[in-house]
Structure 1
């Protein structure tokens, strides 16, 4: 099937990409080599922009119901936490929920939308002949092949797809390690999150379901390029004691692990009929819990572009913008996680002074605090815009109130771009853009929308992309000129194929 997309990797990134492709009507197969969802996953944090991403499709409610809400985040485990309250979002908090549960919920959604999710199916080879990709698969001691229009590598840092595509994975080997344990604590510390930094180590403790706690920490001996072997409970207990003075009654570990700050970035996120997302595209220290989040947001950016390409309605070069927009985000993620690693591992008087200075700036300088919070939460991402474009172009669109009863996110659940007419230009009708409005949802506000955001106050019309970013906006006040601008914006971003309009 030439219109089929094969996704290799059934974690949150691959499953969200499957959801987006199926929402657009693309035949989608997900191949995951593990038979069961891995219960021992490092990711525990869902950041505000990822909640927004799910909310754009109405897929966030169960995570909100099950996840613990923390109204702040940390940068390098500094004592001064980042308050998410001032952020311009409906979700000014992080959710703590095990990645295994997030994966289960996203698989349920993908399958409900019609994705063919195959667990226990291992991809051994992929060959791109220029017109299609042949995927070789092993399952139940048998082999078979699939033909796909595109193959998406969402299969982690050791990606088979990246190897088959011969895409370099560039960066540096680890120079620092961390340790992690999911354990039972008979005497847990109070509060939803405990964090501490001393000359003996950096530590965070977070409650998990079923009476367990996760402890993640760095110790002075972790500044190494040598792998010390498997982590034992006795070693982990001693490390915790050095920092807190107690092991908090630690016992019954369900998982003990080490991790490092190896940092690598794929040179190309797209090569021919191969695309990469998530850990297959970028590897970094899991500082701040951003990894899962960046992967899901990769998938959101890629999904609508890949679907439009497969279905033959993408304008020229649309799929190439995936690399252009997401590669810098991967590079930025590596930069700030490496910076956090350096601060967390600064077990010296100089390191303590740096932590004190940064903590003071966070506490006393709201602009600095909010900038770090926006960066950590994913809300600061902005994509490049053409010269002369409206300042909103490339920015995420907040959940604007369009009428007394409806918000923007309500209009985006079907995965189509939304053309907003703010009813400010007499004689303008978005429908007059003709075929360019195919596959686009049009919404005319019954009265000028109320905006508490000055940057939206004078906007006449805007096109919000399926991933929730502004593709085009205008303050034009002439109806004919605004119609012309609208037609060009739609054709450039979404093509002008045939389709229903509602």
Structure 2
């Protein structure tokens, strides 16, 4: 074997996966067909659950330091309307303005710190597999060569060569529309109003938010101190654009003119992005020793969700692959990656398809639907529910005996817990990407039961005044595998914990 896992694609998903694998003691190799990191604007930031996960890995501070602007208020586009979560405390959805190119640099630096090799200018040509390995034919700067690994991870995007070579179907639809997103300065001839709208000479006032017209959708975001606004247009088009050809300010201005009928003066741009929407879902995330993550596995017809979902795929996949490679994975563990992430991404596909229906309707009935939906979002339960959908925070994974405790299958959000060494966050226990049993009630019986897995499961003792459980077993992806109800007797709690440990982390026979 040349390496344990070949990761194809050095985007955020592939780099996140490689870093997670390295944390788990696995040797990954990242192959990227482009010779250098692309600077063409793509995703503009991160949001939702992935931010909590990055905090658990100790990466959130680095991401925040790399931001291009202040963290915005939690107000998000949703199919031609806005979901305003700024009115509610403890909102489930936040965003971080971090352009994809900066994120990739950060994740590649972190991967390098963990010993990961990234080979650029190396394109996968063919894939073959048997019961023990995957063979990859690669074309690189020094010619063709053959690499062998135990597993191959396709993180190579919407046109995934890995998915194609593995014979995995990618059903769905492509919407015949082109979307353009720009962050651009407005000249002094354009008046910026207090309500966020703008006044253009010779035209009516253009209001902030979304405007539907007969030819498409126009969006205007508020200006910052340097008069930079966010502009968005959607038009029905059949033109095929080269993803590597950067959009220009002239192209944005022409699109605004077609959609809105206004000749809008534009200055220098800080971001220009063009994209087409798809709704596609691979019929499986695993084909033998080939696994898929990110855009290679799913495409969503809305902005702001794909990169978050893909990086969560990477975290959910890495610890399972590592368990397989280290030889202590229980039967079927890798299949649970497909089960869980398909469930989560199906929810994302659901709400992004709903956004298509809201966004594309251009008659009076569609206007009425958007108006009614916006009214419903004034209610806290409705806006919180949609916020959780956007964040990817509404999923509870199906774990064995989930009815024993309400926490089972849910994500462990950060909290502060007193410990013997002072106050420590749960997030700090997840830095190493290892399973953790958090004992909240000084349960020596449970700590003793977990000691047989000490080679692969950490134990943390904590104290809390109002605990929701006596102990919580947390997987490396920060989801609860098992929880002991408060006061549950040892004769029930101990066998249940041992069962959960075996189910997720294998037989303890060779633990020391």
> Which of residues 317, 323, 332 is equivalent to 1:317?
332
Shift of 1:264: 1.2
User: Does 1:265 pair with 2:292?
Assistant: no
Alpha-carbon contact 1:88-1:398 (below 8 Å) kept = no
Map Cα deviations across residues 236-291 of structure 1 (whole Å, 9 max, x no partner): 31432577786653255687664333221111101100000000000122x24101
Between 56-65 and 251-260, the greater mean CA deviation after superposition = 251-260
Deviation of 1:93 (Å): 2.2
Which residue in the other structure is 2:504 paired with?
493
State the secondary structure of the residue aligned to 2:281: strand
Structure 2 equivalent of residue 71 of structure 1: 73
Structure 1 stretch 266-275 or stretch 72-81: which is displaced more?
72-81
Contact 1:158 1:280 in 2 (8 A): yes
Instruction: Tell me if 1:400 matches 2:415.
Output: yes
Query: Partner of 2:252 in structure 1?
Result: 236
| Structure 2 spans left out of the alignment, 5+ residues | 198-207
C-alpha deviations, 1:386-437, integer Å up to 9, x for none?
Answer: 3534221111111122216111001110111110111165x52413344234
Cα deviation digits, residues 293-340 of structure 1 (max 9, x gap): 000000011011111111111111110000000112222222211211
Deviations 1:187-212 (A, max 9, x none): 58589996322335231448899997
Instruction: Say which of 460, 466, 482 aligns to 2:476.
Output: 466
CA shift digits 1:54-88 (9 cap, x unpaired): 11110111211232312212322414523385336
The match for 2:449 is 432
In the alignment, which of 436, 455, 465 is matched to residue 418 of structure 1? 436
C-alpha contact 1:126 1:164 (8 A) present in aligned 2: yes
1:19 aligned to 2:19? yes
The equivalent of 1:454 in structure 2 is none
SS in 2 for 1:402: strand
Equivalent of residue 239 in structure 2, options 210, 224, 227: 227
Matched, 1:291 2:309: no
| Aligned residues of 1:13 and 1:296 also touching (Cα < 8 A) | yes
Structure 1: tracts of 5 or more residues without a match:
452-456
Kindly indicate whether residue 197 of structure 2 is the aligned counterpart of residue 196 of structure 1.
no
Q: 2: CA distance between counterparts of 1:326 and 1:437?
A: 28
- Select between 186-195 and 147-156 the one with higher mean Cα deviation: 186-195
Q: Is the 8 A contact 1:126 1:135 kept in 2?
A: yes
| Secondary structure of the structure 1 residue equivalent to 2:316 | helix
2:381 paired residue among 360, 363, 367: 367
> Partners of 1:20 and 1:444 in 2: how far apart?
25
Structure-2 residue corresponding to 1:136: 137
Worse-matched range after superposition: 150-159 or 205-214:
205-214
C-alpha distance in 2, partners of 1:323/1:282? 12
Secondary structure of the structure 1 residue equivalent to 2:6: strand
Matched, 1:81 2:110: no
SS in structure 1 at match of 2:71: strand
Deviation for aligned residue 1:20: 0.4
Q: By how many angstroms is 1:183 displaced?
A: 4.7
- 2:204 — aligned with what? none
Shift of 1:186: 3.1
Cα drift, residue 496 of structure 1: 3.5
1-structure distance, mates of 2:502, 2:91: 30
User: 331-340 or 96-105, which moves further after superposition?
Assistant: 331-340
Partner of 1:390: 405
| SS of structure 1 residue aligned to 2:38 | coil
Question: How many angstroms does 1:175 deviate by?
Answer: 4.0
Find the aligned partners of 2:143 and 2:157 in 1 and give their Cα distance: 24
Question: In structure 2, what is the equivalent of residue 55 of structure 1?
Answer: 55
The one of 275, 293, 305 equivalent to 2:291 is 275
SS at match of 2:96: strand
Cα distance in structure 1, aligned partners of 2:343 and 2:225: 35
Query: Partners of 2:141 and 2:225 in 1: how far apart?
Result: 33
Match of 1:100 in 2: 101
In 2 relative to 1, CA 336–79 (structure 1 residues): closer, same or farther, beyond 3 Å? closer
- Corresponding residue number in structure 1 for 2:202: none
Mark the CA change 1:182 to 1:142 in structure 2 (over 3 Å): closer, same or farther: farther
Aligned to 2:316: 301
Q: Pick closer, same or farther for the CA change 1:210–1:145 going to 2, 3 Å.
A: farther
Which residue does 1:216 correspond to in 2? 232
* 2:161 equivalent in structure 1: 160
Where does 1:345-360 land on structure 2 (aligned, <5 Å)? 345-360=360-375
Distance 2:424 2:333 in 1: 30
Q: Say if 1:145 and 1:211 are closer, same or farther in 2 by CA, change over 3 A.
A: farther
Q: Is the 8 A contact 1:45 1:290 kept in 2?
A: no
Alpha-carbon RMSD: 2.9
2:20 and 2:226 map into 1 onto residues whose CA distance is: 32
Q: 1:118 to 1:84 in 2, by over 3 A?
A: farther
